[in-house]
């Protein structure tokens, strides 16, 4: 069970890598636009994150930190709203507002920082 949990954590990290990687390509040398791939990364991180939120495959006596998990879920929904609104602006031929673009990167890193630093 513990190994399976680590596999789900790996999938979660792949989702994070897809989201942050595709954002970073756009941020540094790219057009600062959103892509459908960011939504796939979010979806992968979100589904695997929800699976990790349940108390299974944990060492004896360990319990999930629901405050931390809830905070990450709120941030994930906010990122989804920003990416979704940016993608629909792009469809209409407009560009993503710089504040919205940078906020998506900042919130993604914030979620990774919460995962690692909130103990
Ligand atoms: C953009 C969104 C997200 C990012 C960048 C992210 C990032 C990460 C990272 C880097 C880890 C590894 C931490 C470690 O090994 O200790 C992790 C673990 C975890 N994440 Fe996420 N995460 C995101 C969204 C979510 C969501 C939405 C949930 C649940 C609703 C969630 C639940 C968890 C859980 C339960 C763990 C494992 C236990 C822990 O260390 O907290 N994550 N996440």
Q: What is the 116 CA–ligand 1 centroid distance (Å)?
A: 8
Q: What is the 11 CA–ligand 1 centroid distance (Å)?
A: 11
For residue 109, pLDDT beyond 90: yes
> Is the separation of the CB atoms in 104 and 78 below 8 Å?
no
Render pLDDT for 42-71 as a digit per residue (tens, 0 to 9). Answer: 999 999 999 999 999 999 999 999 999 999
Closest residue to atom 2 of ligand 1, CA basis: 76
Q: What's the CA gap between 57 and 77, in Å, rounded?
A: 26
What pTM was computed for the model? 0.94
CA distances from 23 to 32, 44, 72, 73, 118 (A): 8, 15, 19, 19, 24
């Amino acid at each position: 069970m513990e190994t399976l949990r680590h596999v789900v954590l790996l999938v979660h990290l792949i989702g994070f890598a897809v989201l942050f990687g595709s954002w970073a390509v756009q941020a540094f040398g790219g057009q600062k636009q959103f892509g459908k791939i960011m939504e796939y990364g979010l979806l992968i991180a979100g589904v695997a994150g929800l699976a990790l939120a349940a108390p299974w495959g944990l060492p004896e006596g360990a319990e999930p930190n629901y405050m931390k998990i809830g905070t990450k879920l709120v941030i994930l929904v906010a990122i989804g709203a920003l990416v979704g609104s940016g993608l629909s602006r792009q469809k209409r031929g407009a560009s993503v507002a710089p504040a919205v673009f940078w906020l998506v990167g900042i919130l993604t890193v914030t979620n990774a920082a919460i995962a690692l630093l909130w103990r």
